Amino acid sequence: MTDARDTGTALRDPDALLRRAGVRGNPDRDQHFLVDDRVLDRLPDYGIDAEFDLSHVLEIGPGTGALTDRLLAVADEVTVVERDSNLAAFLREEFADEIAAGRLTVVEGDALSVELPEFTASVSNLPYGVSSEITFRLLPRGKPTVLMFQKEFAERMAADVGTDDYGRLSVSAQHYADVEVVEPVPKEAFSPPPDVESAVVRTTPRDPDYEVGDEDFFLRFVKAVFTQRRKTLRNAIRNTGHISGLDDADAPVAAISEGKTELDPDVLSKRAGKIPPETFAALATVADEYGRGGDAA
């Protein structure tokens, strides 16, 4: 794939795009436009460096198209999803030539509900208010991503077991991919500056080194247990059956305690933050077997 930036083609200036669009960021609508050229230029590079397939890149929340322009310089095809009708109209006008050439598709709608196209990678400055929901629409697709998040969210996605940031988000994200924070981004890179620092996260899809029979249940189980992360697993599992969907939350605890499973009963005395994903998978398997749809013992 040829990098169009090597041809000397001038990239659009992000501030000029804002002026032509006649818009200003609106924090009340979760609009913070990325205007730092250096950060914008590096975002596609994180995918190139990891040898992502950039033949069809999906961008969520393109705004005025500053990142879109840079993606078009390295990708064969780009699809953008923009919920703001005025911005979608501006993108169609600003990038009319690229659209006519079949290299850019503008989808107007909410990224949480529109039908997403087939894509080979996603590079996006996500709307922070819905970043979690969008991320977990993307990760199950098994495609690599380079995404901008609030720094705290990014650090929790990539956190290792036993650290303060490790939690439900860490286990859920790392179930689908290797997650790494590749760059912190200051507030000043945006217009208007948000109240929080930001960070770029790269995810590389891979299969987990454990098996789960029911993925939806596994993710609900992890969510449920982490709602009581300060309690031991014994109590957290018992207290959150209504969240995880257990018919009998005592049954899996009893099965583990009585040595009916391969899990060491001592695991029940630990807290969620000390439990690696593979142990959560084993716990969820036991909970599914013994706690759902009657006693399977």
Distance of CA 219 to the CA centre of its chain: 15
User: CB–CB of 145/123 below 8 Å?
Assistant: yes
CA-closest candidate to residue 184, choices 231, 137, 229, 152: 152
3-state SS, residue 288? helix
Judge whether 85 and 22 are in contact, CB under 8 Å. Answer: no
Are 161 and 274 within 8 A, CB to CB?
yes
- Please state, in angstroms and as integers, the Cα–Cα distance from residue 200 to each residue in 47, 74, 129, 186, following that order: 11, 19, 16, 11
110 is in an annotated binding site: yes
Angle between helices 277-291 and 250-257 (to 10 degrees): 110
- In the block, residue with structure tokens 């993307």: 138
Q: Is 291 flagged in the annotation as binding?
A: no
Assigned token pair, 163: 């650290």
Contacts of 250 (CB under 8 A, 6+ apart): 238
Q: Is 32 marked as a binding-site residue?
A: yes
Of residues 213, 212, 289, 215, the one with CA closest to residue 251: 289
- Alpha carbon separation from 186 to 35, 55, 65, 149 (Å, rounded): 11, 30, 20, 12
Please list, in sequence order, all residues whose beta carbon lies within 8 angstroms of the beta carbon of residue 95, skipping any fewer than 6 positions away.
65, 68, 69, 72, 104, 106
* 125 annotated among ligand-binding-site residues: yes
Is 112 annotated to bind a ligand? Reply is: no
Q: Was 82 annotated as part of a binding site?
A: yes
CA torsion through residues 201, 17, 195, 81, sign: negative
- Residue stretches of the annotated binding site: 32, 34, 61, 82, 110, 125
- Residue stretches of the annotated binding site for S-adenosyl-L-methionine: 32, 34, 61, 82, 110, 125
